[in-house]
Copies of this chain bind each other. A is one copy, B any other.
Amino acid sequence: MRPNDRAVDQVRPIKMTRNYTAYAEGSVLVEFGNTKVLCNASVEENVPRWLKGKGKGWVTAEYGMLPRATHTRNRREAASGKQGGRTMEIQRLIARSLRAVVDLEAMGEIMVTVDCDVIQADGGTRTASISGASVAMADAFQKLVAQGKLKANPMKGHVSAVSVGIVNGQGLCDLEYVEDSAADTDMNVVMTEEGKMIEVQGTAEGEPFSHEELMELLALAQKGIADIIEVQKAALAE
């Protein structure tokens, strides 16, 4: 039995609070059960040096975890003087996922940076980050349209992500921490709202996984992402 009687293909209760902070062009607190991530999208009318003069925009992301987002305190990355490998891996994934749904040419020479800071971590922080960042980014673009700085929102659709995994031989959707720790296989899937894939990252933590298991996990992800997209749409409709 999963915690809180969740079904194997059921995502945790998801909540997206827009305008969570006052200054960012897009600000969303995303909650997947006890996992809480603040996603702030910042607009800069400027692009990285290597893009200057090409008439294209850029979308990037940074990820961080408050030292006590977790059960025991982690060392603050600013204090240790560098971002760890896990942090870098995650923020590169978030940024790629966001860029996959944006028409960079249509942005003009503007840069959007989405900061995903984990307030509380109970599994699935990277996929929650992507799902929330998509909404924060949409808000930021909407603001640019409202200000007349963009003619239309350059997003081609929403991007959502979910983690799925195999625990004791059973495929599960949207793992929480206790499940994640026990998983043999852990997979993060990032999809567009049309159900096409942007990223698929499956890792055998224990036993290698078979083709059949991969198929089961993909099906669970597809179901979960459909539910997340509903929440994203509802949040933006408010």
- Residues of A participating in the B interface, judged by any CB pair closer than 8 Å: 21-24, 27, 34, 36, 38, 40, 42, 44, 62, 64, 66-73, 76-79, 81-89, 91-92, 96, 100, 113, 115, 117, 119-120, 187, 191-192, 194, 196-204, 207-211, 214, 218
A82 to B79, CA, bound (A): 7
User: Of the candidates B69, B120, B203, which one forms a contact with A199 in the assembled complex, judged by CB atoms under 8 Å apart?
Assistant: B203
Once A197-B210, A202-B197 are accepted as A-B contacts, the answer to whether A83 and B89 lie under 8 Å apart by CB is: no
Verify B78–A67 contact, CB threshold 8 A. no
Question: Across chains A and B, which 9 residue pairs bring their CB atoms closest together, nearest first?
Answer: A196-B208, A77-B78, A85-B88, A40-B68, A42-B73, A200-B202, A78-B78, A24-B68, A89-B89
Residues from chain B with a CB closer than 8 A to the CB of A86 are 92
Residues from chain B with a CB closer than 8 A to the CB of A24 are 68, 73
Expressed in whole angstroms, the minimum distance between the Cβ of A95 and any Cβ of chain B is 10
A203 to B23, CA, bound (A): 28
A12 to B113, CA, bound (A): 32
Once A197-B204, A197-B209, A201-B201 are accepted as A-B contacts, the answer to whether A21 and B68 lie under 8 Å apart by CB is: yes
Query: Do most interface residues of chain A lie in helix, strand or loop, or is the interface mixed?
Result: mixed
Verify A204–B199 contact, CB threshold 8 A. yes
A208 to B96, CA, bound (A): 11
* Closest residue on chain B to residue A36 by CB atoms: B21
Verify A200–B201 contact, CB threshold 8 A. yes
Verify A214–B200 contact, CB threshold 8 A. yes
Expressed in whole angstroms, the minimum distance between the Cβ of A98 and any Cβ of chain B is 12
* Most chain B beta-carbon neighbours within 10 Å: one of A62, A72, A76, A214: A76
* Closest residue on chain B to residue A67 by CB atoms: B115
Residues from chain B with a CB closer than 8 A to the CB of A38 are 66, 119
A146 to B81, CA, bound (A): 37
A59 to B81, CA, bound (A): 22
Could you give 11 example pairs across A and B, Cβ below 8 Å?
A: A21-B69, A40-B67, A40-B68, A73-B115, A78-B87, A81-B81, A81-B82, A88-B89, A196-B208, A197-B208, A197-B211
